[in-house]
Structure 1
Amino acid sequence: MIILGSSGSIGVNALAIAARYKLPIEVLGVGKNIALLNAQILQFRPKAVIIADSNDKSLITSEFKGKIYTGNIGILQAIIESQSKLVINALVGFIGLEPTLCAINCGKKVALANKESLVVGGDCIDMEYIIPIDSEHFSLSYLLNFNKSPRPFRNLYITASGGAFRDTPLETIPQQSATNALKHPNWKMGKKITIDSATMVNKLFEILEAYWLFGSKNIDAFIERNSHIHGLVEFLDGSVVAHLAHTNMQLPIAYAICFGLGLQEQFLRDFGECKQKSKKNSIKTCDSIIERLNFQNINYKLQNIDPKRYPLWNLKNTLLENPKLGLVLNASNEVAVEAFLQDSIVFGRISEIIQSALEAFKNPNFNDMDSIRTLDLEVREYARKLL
């Protein structure tokens, strides 16, 4: 397989699974973390690697004798020239879209963790090649039995943690700093996704991803503070089923690898806690990947997302009515979040910049990578002028 973003959380977890099941890695791709790449090279012996900067070639371990690709063009070259039939795309941001399109054009399956691929370019992507890794979309797929033609449903629901300001007094939120916004109540993630969690942009992204993946506009989200319930499906018969699991990303990654490589489902059997007999006939816990979820005596509550606390949530229906607005949402958000992380603007300005951009680009028109790139640059230029 090919792993794009092998130094991030998804990539590291994918490699942990590869090591456990002795799965070969053909290509590893990182940005600037050459030290971690060198450790991965020595363990997994890839045939090729991808790095961001050609000037870092000299830092790659001398034990590596394979091919070195560099930059965005190098990512595409590596995909085209590889033999692997599965690409795990864990790149962050707009940069991840073109590799997704390239992999599909090469007939490869894409285990997708890059949100922007679907948010920006969903209209240009053949969903037959996509296997979602995001926990929310994995949960929905799980509940629908990974079936391209599932039992008819009425509504799909995903959940949100609520982010850093879910309990902050409303009147103080607009003036909050990046330092406070990065204090996620449930876990530690990358800076951008943590900010997107606080603004609820991350959930807008996931709503759009669900639209493209499942072909329905009947999608909503709730806040679930435990981060145990990831998705719910309401069927036409009135029944509702929910998927509960720990937030260990190895579970959706393992399923994606299993389906992407055409492995037998036996591959997945030891993911939950199990027991086996030792030689002395005593019982001991085996080496499981994911701890069993203790859901007893836990208060589960699904809360509506309050637009007063998360003003951008008002955009949900607009985005579902015109999903191509995802390009405008993403470009303006990337500009605003970058400025916020540099303390150039306060928290409340993020939503103001995004809403202004969506008003200015009401009817985005694109149908290929060139037109996507052109419009993306226009939106970014517009957003920067608002800083």
Structure 2
Amino acid sequence: MIILGSSGSIGLNALNLAKEYNLKVDALACKSSLKVLNAQIEEFSPKLVYIDDDSLKPLVNHKFVFSKKDGIEKFLIACDEQSHGSKLINAFVGFDGLVPSVMALKLGFDLALANKESLVAGGQFLDCSKITPIDSEHFGLKFLLKDRPKLHRLIITASGGAFYGRDISSLKDASVEDALKHPNWNMGAKITIDSATMVNKLFEIIEAFWLYGCQNIEAYIERKSLIHALIEFKDGSTTAHISKPDMRLAIAHAIGLNNQRIIENLDIAKLQNITLEPIDLERYRAFSLKDNLLQNPQIGAIINAANDEIVAGFLSKKVKFNSISSAIFDALDRFFCFKLDSLESVIEINQKVREYIKHRYIS
């Protein structure tokens, strides 16, 4: 398989599974984690590697190294020549994952997608029938959709993030350190902040729309992260996908290990006192965009760009926590009428929104 984002949590888990089940790793790509990449090269002996930071290219311990100057497209073409049709995990973080997703499908790779932004910003340009999602919620939905009756509604769950239960008036002064204290999952900083604002769940809603073609989608808070997804069928029945919160399960299914024991089954006695609660739109303002986003999925590109830039500002302690949702609504008001009917237009709006948010809120 090929792993884009090999130094992140998804990439590291995928490589651990590859080692455990003796799966061949053909290529690795990361942004700038030189030490991690060199260790992975030594252990897995990939045919090709990519590091985004051009200055680090000479320091990578491999004969065939690509970097940003060469272009991710050239790297993927070389991967196709070496390993046509291989499983490709796209675990890049952020908007930079969109073009690799488009190209991976065009080249005929078996795409296992952990990059949310590919679907949030560019779902209309992807053949979603050829994508295997790597996400606990979307894996749960996919698992439940086998041999399905007619759908009525898709439901995913959220933990509520770091600030569930905290007094809403105090959120304006919430610190970065507090926002990064996710109750159940060990994730990167960006996605942990997105969990605290519920933007992550907003993105997962539109991912589910693109992946499964259903517009009737809802999310509820389930604090223990044991119930990941539910499906209501037209016949009146409902099914649920339940497991311990461990991303290895979704990754394992995405890379073909669905008949192996990956994690221990959940002790069903722990399902006592599980509750599903509606999402408080006063606390999680951005989630109020759900219905608008489902009706106009192209605005995902605007929301994603604004959120990326303002979260970066929050993590660098240049803006307050409440500015995140304000910036997203502001960007939508300003750019809503922008026509997003091509990949080029999505790339353009991504740049325009980022520049606007930097100038308005951060500079």
Q: TM-score range, shorter-chain basis?
A: over 0.9
Give the aligned partner of residue 293 of structure 1: 266
For residue 71 of structure 2, what is the amino acid of its counterpart? G
For residue 356 of structure 2, what is the amino acid of its counterpart? Y
Q: Distance in 2 between matches of 1:319 and 1:293?
A: 34
Give the aligned partner of residue 254 of structure 2: 256
Give the aligned partner of residue 341 of structure 1: 315
For residue 137 of structure 2, what is the amino acid of its counterpart? E
SS in 1 for 2:268: coil
Report if the CA contact (8 A) 1:124-1:367 is conserved: no
Q: Distance in 2 between matches of 1:299 and 1:73?
A: 54
Q: Distance in 1 between matches of 2:247 and 2:203?
A: 18
C-alpha deviation, 1:54, in angstroms: 2.5
Structure 1: any 5+ residue segments left out of the alignment? 259-266, 272-288
1:295-334 aligned within 5 A? 295-297=268-270, 298-334=272-308
- Whether 1:81 and 2:78 are equivalent positions in the alignment is yes
Q: Distance in 1 between matches of 2:26 and 2:71?
A: 15
C-alpha deviation, 1:96, in angstroms: 0.2
C-alpha deviation, 1:74, in angstroms: 3.2
Report if the CA contact (8 A) 1:192-1:337 is conserved: yes
Give the aligned partner of residue 49 of structure 2: 49
Give the aligned partner of residue 107 of structure 2: 106
Report if the CA contact (8 A) 1:2-1:84 is conserved: no
Give the aligned partner of residue 386 of structure 1: 360
Q: Distance in 2 between matches of 1:133 and 1:190?
A: 15
- Whether 1:28 and 2:28 are equivalent positions in the alignment is yes
Structure 2: any 5+ residue segments left out of the alignment? none
Report if the CA contact (8 A) 1:325-1:363 is conserved: no
For residue 125 of structure 1, what is the amino acid of its counterpart? L
SS in 2 for 1:220: strand
Give the aligned partner of residue 374 of structure 1: 348
Match of 1:270 among 260, 265, 269: 260
Report if the CA contact (8 A) 2:6-2:12 is conserved: yes
C-alpha deviation, 1:214, in angstroms: 0.8
For residue 292 of structure 1, what is the amino acid of its counterpart? N
SS in 2 for 1:158: strand
Deviation per CA, 1:39-73: give whole Å up to 9, x if none: 11111110010012232133223xx33x1010275
Deviation per CA, 1:305-342: give whole Å up to 9, x if none: 00111111211111111000100100010111011111
SS in 2 for 1:324: helix
Q: Give the greater-gyration-radius structure (CA).
A: 1
Deviation per CA, 1:321-371: give whole Å up to 9, x if none: 100010010001011101111111111111111101111122342233222
Name the Cα RMSD after superposition. 1.4
Match of 1:362 among 324, 336, 361: 336
Q: Distance in 1 between matches of 2:155 and 2:223?
A: 15
Q: Residues 252 and 72 from structure 1, CA distance in 2 versus in 1: closer, same or farther, beyond 3 angstroms?
A: farther
Report if the CA contact (8 A) 2:149-2:235 is conserved: no
Greater alpha carbon shift after TM alignment, 320-329 vs 125-134: 125-134
Report if the CA contact (8 A) 1:14-1:254 is conserved: yes
For residue 66 of structure 2, what is the amino acid of its counterpart? Y
For residue 268 of structure 1, what is the amino acid of its counterpart? N
Report if the CA contact (8 A) 1:108-1:129 is conserved: no
Match of 1:176 among 147, 168, 174: 174
Q: Residues 72 and 6 from structure 1, CA distance in 2 versus in 1: closer, same or farther, beyond 3 angstroms?
A: farther
SS in 1 for 2:215: coil
1:76-225 aligned within 5 A? 76-82=73-79, 83-85=83-85, 86-145=87-146, 150-225=148-223
TM-score (norm 1): 0.89
| Number of residues of Structure 1 aligned to a counterpart in Structure 2 | 356
Q: Residues 364 and 239 from structure 1, CA distance in 2 versus in 1: closer, same or farther, beyond 3 angstroms?
A: farther
Give the aligned partner of residue 70 of structure 1: 67
TM-score (norm 2): 0.95
Deviation per CA, 1:111-151: give whole Å up to 9, x if none: 00000000000011111221101110000000001x6xx42
SS in 2 for 1:139: helix
SS in 2 for 1:328: helix
Q: Which aligned segments of 4 or more residues in structure 1 are displaced greater than 3 angstroms?
A: none
Greater alpha carbon shift after TM alignment, 20-29 vs 201-210: 20-29
